[in-house]
Structure 1
Amino acid sequence: MPMIYRGTVALITGASSGLGAEFARQWARRGADVVLVARRADRLESLRAELAAQHGVTAHTVAADLAEPGAAAALKAELDRRDIAVQTLVNNAGFGSYGPFAEEDPDEVGRMVALNCGAVAELTRAFLPGMAADGRGALVTVASTAAYQPTPGMALYGATKAFVLSFTEAVAYETRRSPLRVLALSPGPVGTEFFDVVGSEQAKVGRLATPEEVVTTARRALERRSAPPSTVAGLGNRLSALGARLAPRRVALAVAGRALKA
């Protein structure tokens, strides 16, 4: 088994539920200590106790809103204060919304960009130098199949995930001489609280995957001898993403608009 688990510390954002909690469980099951970050301290504490009891790992918790200015730097400072070195960073925290962009809450527009893009960039900058020098872990960012074409009805969300995909693939190339594994993970719809926040069933396009399926896809990609810079979870989603990349842009746009009923 690659040395990306046992003897390492994985920092996981959005760890209070869904994909973040599943990343924590799968990494802890393989011997990694974890740092759990999210806004809901009670859920983090519950997961911390579960991981310690079931897997005997050390789980640290930090309650933080990563959309707030300076949150990434404050988190790095807090872990430095606790003398916790991070080998793996899973940038999972994010949210979306559904509806015409002209009707979006202006405050939520800023929060989405800050969390889905700003926090990913700032956390990666804060932890990447040490991770690349150590080389035992991985950088994982959660993008989306929405990254592969414009997404009318979820215009801003899709754009933020396009940023995540492009950013991560570029960082993967820049760090190619380090043994650090870098991966952008693009799931389709997943059975999590994401759609409760989105507030519409219209955003569910395709089969709902389970968090276990999606995180297992990421883990298997990372465990290959040469980790790919990006992977799409689910065969149907992979075919759709490929079709979106090969089709003329206006065709991909029209197909996405109809699928999302925008």
Structure 2
Amino acid sequence: MSYALITGAAKGIGKAIAAELAQRNYHLLLIDLDEKTLHDTATQLAAAYHVNVHTLYQDLSHPEALQRVTGWSRPWHQELTVVVNNAGYGLNGAFEELSLEEQFNIIDVNIKAQVGLSYAYIPVLRQFPKAYLLNLASTTAYQTVPYLNIYAATKAFALSFTRGLRHELRHSPVSVSALSPGSTDTDFVNRARMGDSTRKIADRFNMTAESVARIAVDGLFKGKAEIIPGFTNKLNAWLPKFFPKTFVEKIAANIYVPKEKAAVVTLTTG
């Protein structure tokens, strides 16, 4: 059997993608920052699907993360046919009020790690008759999102980068896809420090991580360029093209503005 490498695999979409691939008889190389949850996930998946599961506890924002990940995975490079760059996160808040260090960290994980791992593993994937690279974008990639600004900007980069890479590799054995999920029932809202009002809006449209993963893996193996799970998410990615950007930005700002700033935003944009 072949191996699949997944970052951000301890929980949420990453864990669900790992489970979906295990169901399809892939052994797993799982990487995450949450060591205990990663260990628990590995134990669950190995028992449920009878596959080999190897784990690496690693913060992908660390300067030496790329070297550590590729060194760790090297024993399985002769069987590694799927790489999933799933790790990523965002923070909800005004740009000038979030620390610069935190925002640089988002860029390190969402952009630098994705680019570095793609660069490192493309030569590995090229050795097979068919191999797959999946990069995580988001429906936020299709518009500007005030108060989730850096996250949305990194996802716009991820989508553009992945499509460009796909074109460059179109005559190679490596199929490159971007996954753009919308609101999903994961821990993202907690790590992003979203307020109750934003959470309630997200809850109305949440997809399960398992349904997102199923659509993602199906789309990956079908060679799709962009995978947007769910009709509502497809609509949200498509509709902003037909409205003035300021209108779209105002709607997004009203969703993501922190509660304490809501009155100010209403006064200045209403």
Q: What is the TM-score of this pair, normalised by structure 1?
A: 0.91
Letter in 1 for 2:100: P
Give the distance between the partners of 1:158 and 1:21, measured in 2 at CA: 22
C-alpha contact (below 8 Å) 1:87/1:135 kept by paired residues: no
**Among 181, 191, 208, which residue is 1:187 paired with?**
181
Shift of 1:249: 2.7
CA deviation profile, 1:29-57 (whole Å, cap 9, x unmatched): 11001101012222222222222222121
Q: Is the 8 A contact 2:46 2:52 kept in 1?
A: yes
Kindly indicate whether residue 228 of structure 2 is the aligned counterpart of residue 232 of structure 1. Answer: yes
CA distance in 2, matches of 1:209, 1:54: 23
Alignment match, 1:223: 221
SS in 1 for 2:205: coil
- 1:138 is displaced (CA, Å) by 1.2
Separation in structure 1 between the aligned mates of residue 177 and residue 242 of structure 2, nearest angstrom: 22
Compare CA radii of gyration and give the structure with the larger one: 2
Q: CA deviation at 1:252?
A: 2.5
Question: What amino acid maps onto 2:229 in structure 1?
Answer: A
Whole-angstrom distance in 2 between the partners of 1:127 and 1:236: 33
- Asked if structure 2 preserves the Cα contact closer than 8 Å seen for 1:190 and 1:209, the reply is yes
State the 1:83 CA deviation. Answer: 4.4
Matched, 1:103 2:89: no
Q: Which amino acid aligns with 1:107?
A: E
Matched, 1:178 2:172: yes
| Identity of matched residues, % | 31
* Match for residue 21 of structure 1 among 12, 15, 22: 15
Shift of 1:135: 4.1
Alignment of 1:31-42 (within 5 A): 31-42=25-36
SS in 2 for 1:133: coil
Q: 1:260 aligns with which of 256, 260, 263?
A: 256
- Root-mean-square deviation (CA, aligned residues, Å) is 1.6
The number of aligned residues is 253
- SS in structure 1 of the partner of residue 170 of structure 2: coil
Give the whole-Å Cα distance in 1 for the aligned partners of 2:76 and 2:156. Answer: 34
Greater CA drift, 252-261 or 158-167: 252-261
Structure 2 CA distance for aligned equivalents of residues 60 and 246 of structure 1: 46
SS in 1 for 2:126: helix
* SS, match of residue 35 in structure 1: strand
Question: Which AA in structure 2 matches 1:245?
Answer: K
Farther off after superposition, 145-154 or 172-181: 172-181
Mapped to 2, the partners of 1:188 and 1:10 lie a distance apart of 24
CA 1:87–1:223: 2 relative to 1, 3 Å? closer
Paired residue for 1:165?
159
Partners in 1 of 2:160 and 2:57 — Cα distance? 29
Amino acid at match of 1:102: E
Aligned equivalent of 2:70, options 76, 95, 104? 76
Shift of 1:79: 1.7
1:211 maps to which of 209, 212, 228: 209
Structure 2 unaligned regions, length at least 5:
258-264, 266-270
Q: Does 1:139 align with 2:137?
A: no
- The one-letter code of the counterpart of 1:213 is S
Corresponding residue number in structure 1 for 2:268: none
Quote the Cα distance in structure 1 between the aligned partners of 2:244 and 2:129: 39
User: Which residues in structure 2 correspond to 1:80-95 (within 5 Å)?
Assistant: 80=74, 82-85=75-78, 86-95=80-89
Unaligned runs of 5+ in 1: 1-6
Instruction: Indicate yes or no: 2:252 matched with 1:247.
Output: no
Counterpart CA distance in 2 for 1:174 and 1:109 is: 30
- Runs of 4 or more off by more than 6 Å in structure 1? none
SS at match of 1:134: coil
